[in-house]
Amino acid sequence: MSYCLNPICPNPENLVNSQSCQSCGSQLLLRDRYQAIKPLGQGGFGATFLANDRGLPGEPSCVIKQLRPSGSAPHVLQMARELFEREAKTLGKIGNHPQVPRLLDYFEDHEQFYLVQEYISGDTLQEEVKLNGILTETGVKQFLSEILPLLQYIHEQKVIHRDIKPANLIRRTQDARMVLIDFGAVKNQVTQGAISQSGQTALTAYAIGTPGFAPPEQMAMRPVYASDIYALGVTCIYLLTSKTPKDLDYNPNTGEMIWEQLVQVSDHLSNVLRKMLDVSVRNRYQSAAEVLRALEIEPYLESLAKGLLIKSDTGSKERTHNHLENSAVLCNNSSVAVTSAGVAQVAAAIRARRAKAAEAAGSHHASGMGKSTTLANSNSNGSQVQNSKVERKLDTQGLLTAYQKGRRDFALHNLSLLNLQGADLSGTNFHSTQLQKTNLQGANLHNSDFGRASLSKANLKDANLTKAYFNHADLEGADLRGADLSNAYLSNANLRGANLCGANLTSAKISDEQLALAKTNWMTIRPNGKRGLL
């Protein structure tokens, strides 16, 4: 089916190969490229559609968000345009993270505003709880260890999400990773109301969040980073009780939710949640890093160490979910290892604390580098690679053919020793993939995810690695001479012996300690944009 995007079309459904709408005559191929297939949801700001990108081989799926201003007056269109551009800039700023949908395109067409985003398939947390029931304490800790590093990254980009809740968190089918959706400032319908005496317009009075999940300061239009911490705490209460905020009682004197008698968790986790949910922003955790540190305490670590596998047993049927951002496909029955950086951090902390308690010989870094657990093998910088899962193999031609047909997910594959020189593999998921000694010289790897991948001794000379994601990747001994790593995310990556001579690291997320382990020269462009040695 081809779906008409004209907001006033009386009968928008058309045959799949139709060029124009049989009902209103509108062109069905948006920007001569995007073909809407079906609506996913509708809200105050407009509507969201599942679509195919006919401009790419394989016509991969994508999501179209359409803003529909409620009037054509110049000031209304200007407000709509500013709201639209605000969301596009936000997505562009944070979209190189593998747990955030990528912004693929944005444009204005016939006074309608469009965002085209990566399509994410999977169940929302809300749907998971409805299907499988509430989570245990260990399950909630696993969830926090996966989402908190993502939240920390978002806040580092000076972005406050403002609407964290179970319906906006999707466990992606292909790799079981948690994805945070709906970064839109565009939530309320833009009306033709005049500017009020307070100077507030439809532009400034947008989206204060979901009642019950948003803390008092956010409802008062003064959100801070700690506001997202509060919403995350409310989400945890939902995971432990299956109750939304409107189903809970509140203390009439303090305004705090009454939840502790409804859950069976340790005093340690109760204390952490209590501080996340403090109605006073001053008493609340101020950052995701603070919550992570609070969770990495001995009473917590033992239980998490025993629960690093998540069991997903939700059947294989497919459903369409009526939310604004994505449709969802249920995971097949399988056990999926949690591969998030957060779990790796906690697992590393477990090893470090045990080693310290036993006064074991040897040096351990502050992040807990040490021997690997039985669940995963550690590379030389202490990051976890799920080797038991890296068993799918492809040859060079098979990989390139799959990519040309629209496939972008090669996570957990063994691609070592392949010759991919000059290949166009931009926007690809190589999370936890084996790429040792792979030839990627001159390849286009823009915006690709190499999180926790093993790239030891890989040839990345002159490769385009702009906005690539290398969190906890192993790049030991890799040849990165002349590579463009501008705006790349290299935090926690192992760069021991990596050759960065002549590489461009402008605005890359990388520490001086990491650079000190790599080879650089006077041609290396530092993150500050200047050439030269440290």
Maximum Cα–Cα distance for the chain, whole Å? Answer: 77
Eight-state DSSP code of residue 362: S
With a CB cutoff of 8 Å and minimum separation 6, the contacts of 510 are: 488, 490, 491, 493, 495, 527
Assigned token pair, 97: 């993270």
Assigned token pair, 327: 């449709």
Residue 442 and residue 75: Cα distance in Å, rounded? Answer: 48
Q: What pLDDT score does 306 carry?
A: 45
Q: What pLDDT score does 495 carry?
A: 96
- DSSP H helices, 95-136, are 125-132
C-beta atoms surrounding 29 within 10 Å: 15
Q: What pLDDT score does 193 carry?
A: 36
Which is the catalytic residue, given 32, 105, 109, 163?
Answer: 163
Residue 329 and residue 190: Cα distance in Å, rounded? Answer: 33
User: Which helix (H) or strand (E) element contains residue 250?
Assistant: strand 249-250
Tell me the pLDDT of the chain (534 aa) as tens digits: 899 988 889 999 999 888 899 999 998 999 889 999 999 877 656 788 999 999 888 899 999 988 876 656 677 677 777 777 877 888 887 877 889 988 899 888 877 789 899 999 899 999 999 999 999 998 899 899 889 999 999 998 888 888 899 999 999 988 888 999 887 643 333 333 333 333 333 333 344 678 899 999 988 888 899 999 999 999 999 999 999 999 999 988 888 999 999 999 989 999 999 999 999 999 999 999 999 999 874 344 444 444 443 333 333 333 333 333 343 322 332 333 333 444 444 445 555 555 554 444 343 333 333 333 323 333 333 333 333 344 578 899 999 998 888 888 888 899 999 999 999 999 898 988 999 999 999 999 998 989 889 999 999 999 999 989 998 899 999 999 999 999 899 988 999 999 999 999 999 999 988 999 999 998 899 999 888 765
Assigned token pair, 15: 């045959």
Q: What pLDDT score does 530 carry?
A: 87
Does 130 count as an annotated binding residue?
no
CA–centroid distance for 267 within its chain: 30
Residue 198 and residue 23: Cα distance in Å, rounded? Answer: 45
Torsion angle (degrees, nearest 10) of CA 26, 41, 209, 117: -70
All domains in the chain, ordered by first residue: 2-118 (3.30.200.20), 122-190+208-319 (1.10.510.10), 383-534 (2.160.20.80)
CA angle 227, 230, 233 (to 5 degrees): 155
Q: Is beta strand 103-109 parallel, antiparallel or unpaired with respect to 392-393? A: unpaired
Q: Radius of gyration (Cα) for the chain, nearest Å?
A: 24
Cβ–Cβ under 8 Å, residues 400 and 421: no
Cβ–Cβ under 8 Å, residues 97 and 150: yes
With a CB cutoff of 8 Å and minimum separation 6, the contacts of 279 are: 215, 216, 254, 255, 256
Side-chain half-sphere CA neighbours of 88 within 13 A: 19
Q: What pLDDT score does 285 carry?
A: 96
479 is catalytic: no
* 18: exposed, middle or buried (Cβ count in 10 Å: 0-12, 13-18, 19+): middle
216-220, Cβ contacts within 8 angstroms, sequence gap of 24 or more? 216/255, 216/279, 216/281, 217/281, 218/162
* 474: exposed, middle or buried (Cβ count in 10 Å: 0-12, 13-18, 19+): buried
- DSSP H helices, 157-287, are 216-219, 225-241, 267-276
Q: What pLDDT score does 70 carry?
A: 61
Three-state SS for 151? helix
Residue 343 and residue 376: Cα distance in Å, rounded? Answer: 12
Cβ–Cβ under 8 Å, residues 181 and 163: no
Residue 326 and residue 477: Cα distance in Å, rounded? Answer: 40
Assigned token pair, 283: 């008493």
Q: Is beta strand 2-3 parallel, antiparallel or unpaired with respect to 112-118? A: unpaired
